[in-house]
């Protein structure tokens, strides 16, 4: 998706990552809404996620027919939340599974290992045979220091911070929000050439005011002003629920996100977030 030169591996001493997510969607598997149906999946995932809790979501829809009053119909969907003692979580529903982790994120290798284990459990114990959508999303929120309210302008490249960081805004003017969303599509290549659909990407970036709610598995609400870099890449098309192929696609989607984030960092950001290259 991005025309970027390969970069050496790196790590950040103070990463702005708030939430990393990987999601797979599949045709409805009704048995995953029952305890008996989800039990084999729980058994497979217990070493990674020892705790499971039930979640119920009530959905209300209106039924309208000519000459009659509208009637409300309520349905309750059942899903499950798997967790551990570190901060990893899995939201498992009858039609989707979402792996998420917050600042406890350590490495992509661990992230990919857990997601592959989830795919394996769904395929072998959950009876899932088809994938309808596979996506990876990384949400970075770098809060602006109160003592240095303009320091964020040096963290990311000017292509991302935009004209609002130039000497255009008056001295008595306060920047409240400068948020941009870009949507991309790219022809699939390599292991992504299987699905008959383009790879899609949504990149959101910019300055956000205090108490802005950023959607996620758990909504995020920074207390102070911050710079948001939210990168979401996905493939949306029916394909076989092949664990190896889906894991390879996960790896490639992440590599594009990782490459874009590394490109986005300006020298000031490299210093602020404590970048260390690993060769």
The 10s digit of each residue's pLDDT in 171-190 is 888 889 999 999 999 987 66
State the pLDDT confidence band at 103, using cuts at 50, 70 and 90: very high
Instruction: Determine the Cα–Cα distance for residues 158 and 172; give it in Å rounded to an integer.
Output: 22
In a domain, 106, yes or no: yes
State the pLDDT confidence band at 6, using cuts at 50, 70 and 90: confident
According to the model, what pLDDT value does residue 56 have?
84
In a domain, 4, yes or no: no
In the chain, the number of structural domains is 1
Q: What is the mean pLDDT of residues 187-195?
A: 61
Of the chain, the percentage scoring pLDDT greater than 70 comes to 91
Q: What is the mean pLDDT of the chain?
A: 91
In a domain, 221, yes or no: yes
State the pLDDT confidence band at 279, using cuts at 50, 70 and 90: confident
Instruction: Estimate to the nearest angstrom the gap between the alpha carbon of 140 and the chain centroid.
Output: 10
In a domain, 245, yes or no: yes
The helix/strand count (H/E) of the chain reads as 5, 11
State the pLDDT confidence band at 58, using cuts at 50, 70 and 90: low
Residues in the chain: 279
Residue 60: pLDDT over 60? no
Residue 128 domain boundaries: 10-63+70-278
- Long-range contact set of residues 263-271: C-beta below 8 Å, sequence gap at least 24: 263/2, 263/4, 263/7, 263/157, 264/156, 264/157, 264/160, 264/205, 264/229, 265/155, 265/156, 265/157, 266/154, 266/155, 266/156, 266/157, 266/158, 267/154, 268/151, 268/154, 268/155, 269/154, 269/155, 269/156
Note if the pTM is more than 0.85.
Answer: yes
State the pLDDT confidence band at 65, using cuts at 50, 70 and 90: low
Residue 193: pLDDT over 60? no
Q: What is the mean pLDDT of residues 17-41?
A: 97
Residue 274: pLDDT over 90? yes
Alpha helices in the chain (DSSP H): 35-45, 108-124, 158-161, 243-264, 267-272
Q: What is the mean pLDDT of residues 92-110?
A: 96
In a domain, 2, yes or no: no
In a domain, 112, yes or no: yes
State the pLDDT confidence band at 98, using cuts at 50, 70 and 90: very high
In a domain, 1, yes or no: no
In a domain, 187, yes or no: yes
According to the model, what pLDDT value does residue 169 have?
84
């Amino acid at each position: 998706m991005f025309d970027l030169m390969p970069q050496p591996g790196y790590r950040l001493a103070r990463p702005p990552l708030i939430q990393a997510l990987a999601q797979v969607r599949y045709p409805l598997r009704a048995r995953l809404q029952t305890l008996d149906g989800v039990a084999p999946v729980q058994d497979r995932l217990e070493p990674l996620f020892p705790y499971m809790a039930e979640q119920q979501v009530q959905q209300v829809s209106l039924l309208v027919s000519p000459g009659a009053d509208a009637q409300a119909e309520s349905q309750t969907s059942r899903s499950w939340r798997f967790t551990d003692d570190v901060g990893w979580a899995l939201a498992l529903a009858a039609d989707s599974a979402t792996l998420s982790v917050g600042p406890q994120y350590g490495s992509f290798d661990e992230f990919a290992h857990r997601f592959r284990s989830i795919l394996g459990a769904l395929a072998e114990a959950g009876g899932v045979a088809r994938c309808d959508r596979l996506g990876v999303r990384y949400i970075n929120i770098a809060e602006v220091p109160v003592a240095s309210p303009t320091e964020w302008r040096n963290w990311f490249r000017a292509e991302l911070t935009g004209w609002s960081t130039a000497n255009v805004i008056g001295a008595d003017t306060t920047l409240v929000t400068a948020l941009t969303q870009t949507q991309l599509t790219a022809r699939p290549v390599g292991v992504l050439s299987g699905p008959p659909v383009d790879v899609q990407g949504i990149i959101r970036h910019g300055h956000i005011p205090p108490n802005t709610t950023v959607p996620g598995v758990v909504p995020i609400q920074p207390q102070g002003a911050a710079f948001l870099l939210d990168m979401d890449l996905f493939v949306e098309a029916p394909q076989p629920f092949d664990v190896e192929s889906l894991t390879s696609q996960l790896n490639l989607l992440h590599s594009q996100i990782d490459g874009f984030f590394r490109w986005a960092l300006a020298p000031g950001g490299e210093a602020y977030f404590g970048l260390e290259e690993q060769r």
